[in-house]
Amino acid sequence: MPAGSQENGNLAVSRYNHVVEARDGSGLLVFNSSTGAMIKVDPGIAELIAKGAIQSLEHSVVEQLCAGRFLVPPDLDERLLAFSETMAVWYGSPVTQVVVAPTMECNFSCAYCFQGPNKSVRSMDSDTICRTVEFAKTLARGTSGISLDWFGGEPLLEVDTVFSITSSLREWANSNRLGFWGSISTNGFLLTPATVDRLVSLGVTNATITLDGPQHMHDERRMLKSGDGSFAEITGNLRYAVMHMRIAVRSNVDQVNVSSIDDLHSYLVQQNIVGSGRAAFYTTPVDRFNDYPHCMSDAAFLEFFEGWHATHGAAAGMWLEVPTPARACMARRPKAYAIDPDGRLYKCLEVLGREELSVGSVHANPSISSVSLQRWSMLNPFDRPECMDCSFLPSCRGGCPSRWMQNGKPDCRWGPAYLNSVLRAFNNHYEEVAAGSGQCDKST
C-alpha cells in the first residue's frame, strides 16, 4: 500500500498503513503505525483498500478499518496528527521514571557485557542516596506517581541501598497519594527468597532475570567472577520468585547459543517457572559491545526470531511486543532519568556510567538545562525527510535516540524489516492463542 493518502469518497487510505503477507500465506497483515492496530485481511480486500475502492467494501469492514485508522477522513493531515500525538506521548507522560544503579560492579563476568570487564567498584554513598531520593521526589511532583527501576551492574550487591531508597520513595508516594511501581533487573544470583519477600513488601513486584540457555550453555556465558556457574542458583531462586513476583526471563541470543534457546524454554516450562500464568519469556539479540565477536546480524536474528515464534507461537509464557505509538523511551520523556552510583543523570541505560554522556547530577540543582541534555531533545524525526516520508514514523519516531546520536542519523534498525517479522510472529501467536492451543501471559 503506498504511503500518502488516496482519497475515495469520504475516506482515504492512511499513509501509515504497512502491509506484509502472513507467514503461512493465509492473508495479508495490515498494521497502522499511528494506532498500533493490526488486522488480517484476504488479498482481495487488501487490493480494494490499496486501490482506494472503498465503496466496494462491506460496511462492517469499513467500520473496522476506520476504527484502526487504516482509513481516514480525506482532509486529515496525518503528519500533523502524528506530530501532536508524538508530543503528547513524549511530554505528557503522567508517570515519573527513575532508574537507579546503586553500583556498576557485578558478581558475574559475562563476555558480552555492554558495561565492559572493568566496571567501577564504587557504590552509592549516604549523601548520594539522600540526594537521589530528593531528586526523585522533586521530579515526581505534579505527576501521578513514581516508577522506580533497579539496574546495575548487579543492583543486589547493594541490597541495603535498594531497600533504603525504595522504602523512602514508596513511603513518600503513599503519603502524597501518588502511585508507586517498583521493578528490578538482576542476574538473579542474589535474588534469594528472603530478598524477594523484602522487595515485594516494599512494592518491587516485577523482576527481569537473564538465562542464556540450558545449564551447560548458560554457565559458559554467564559465570560468576570466580568462573563458577550460576544456572543452578538462579533457577533455584526463580522457583520461589515466580510465586511472589511478576518475572520476565530474558534470553540474550547470539551465534553461540541460538540453537539452545529451545532447550532452555522447554526446561523452564517443565520446571513450572515459565508459563501457567507465571514468568514470561522473551529473547533479545546480543549487541556488539566491546568487540564481542559472536553477535548475529540483524537479518539472522530476525530469521531466528520469526521462525522461533512460528513454532512456539502460543507456547507457554511467550512474551511478544508489537511496536506501539503509545510508548516512548526515557530519552524522550522529561520526567525520566537513570542515575549512576555517583548520582550522575543519564537519558539512556546503554550509556549509564559513561560520565562524558551524563546530562546532570542529583548533587546539582536538578533544574536540568544542560547543553548535554539539549542534545537529546534536538533529535527530531519531524525534521528529517526520510522519517517524514516513512510509513513507520508514528511508531518509530526516528528509532533509538542513543544510536541516532552515535551514528548522526535516525536509527532504522528496528524499522520495517523488524516490523515485518514481528507482525508475522504476532499474528501466528495470536491465532494460536485464539484457537485455544496455548497460553499467553503477556502480549500487546
Tell me phi and psi for residue 389, to 5 degrees.
-95, 5
Q: Is 325 in the site for ligand SF4 (CB under 6 A)?
A: no
Burial of 10 (0-12, 13-18, 19+ CB in 10 A): exposed
Distances (CA, A) of 394 to 143, 267, 324, 399, 414: 25, 39, 8, 10, 13
Tell me: does residue 412 bind ligand SF4 (CB under 6 A).
yes
| Residue 103 engages ligand SF4 in binding (rule: CB under 6 A) | no
Give least dist CB 106 to ligand SF4, A: 3
User: Residue 115 interacts with ligand SF4 (CB under 6 A)?
Assistant: yes
Q: 39 is written with which cell numbers?
A: 488486522
Give the range of 107-115, 122-130, 156-164, 287-295 binding ligand SF4 by CB under 6 A: 107-115
> Smallest gap, in angstroms, from Cβ of residue 384 to ligand SF4?
6
Contact residue for ligand SF4 among 113, 133, 140, 336 (CB under 6 A):
113
110 binds ligand SF4 per the rule CB under 6 A = yes
Angle between helices 193-201 and 231-241 (to 10 degrees): 40
Q: Tell me how far apart the alpha carbons of residues 433 and 442 are, in angstroms, rounded to a whole number.
A: 12
Least Å from the CB of residue 139 to ligand SF4:
25
Q: Enumerate residues 182-201 that contact ligand SF4 by CB under 6 A.
A: 187
Other C-beta atoms lying within 10 Å of the C-beta of residue 161: 22
Does 106 interact with ligand SF4 (rule: CB under 6 A)?
yes
Contact 158, 102 (CB under 8 A): yes
Q: Which CB sits closer to ligand SF4, 313 or 323? A: 323
Residues in the chain: 444
Q: Does 399 sit near ligand SF4 (CB under 6 A)?
A: yes
387 forms part of the interface with ligand SF4 (CB under 6 A): yes
Rank residues 281 and 392 by Cβ distance to ligand SF4 and give the closer one: 392
With beta carbons less than 8 A apart as the criterion, state whether 132 and 124 touch.
yes
Q: How many residues bind ligand SF4 (CB under 6 A)?
A: 24
Tabulate helix, strand, coil % of the chain (nearest 5): 40, 20, 40
Contacting positions for ligand SF4 (CB under 6 A): 106, 108-110, 113, 115, 152-154, 187, 222, 381, 386-387, 390, 392-393, 396, 398-399, 410-412, 415
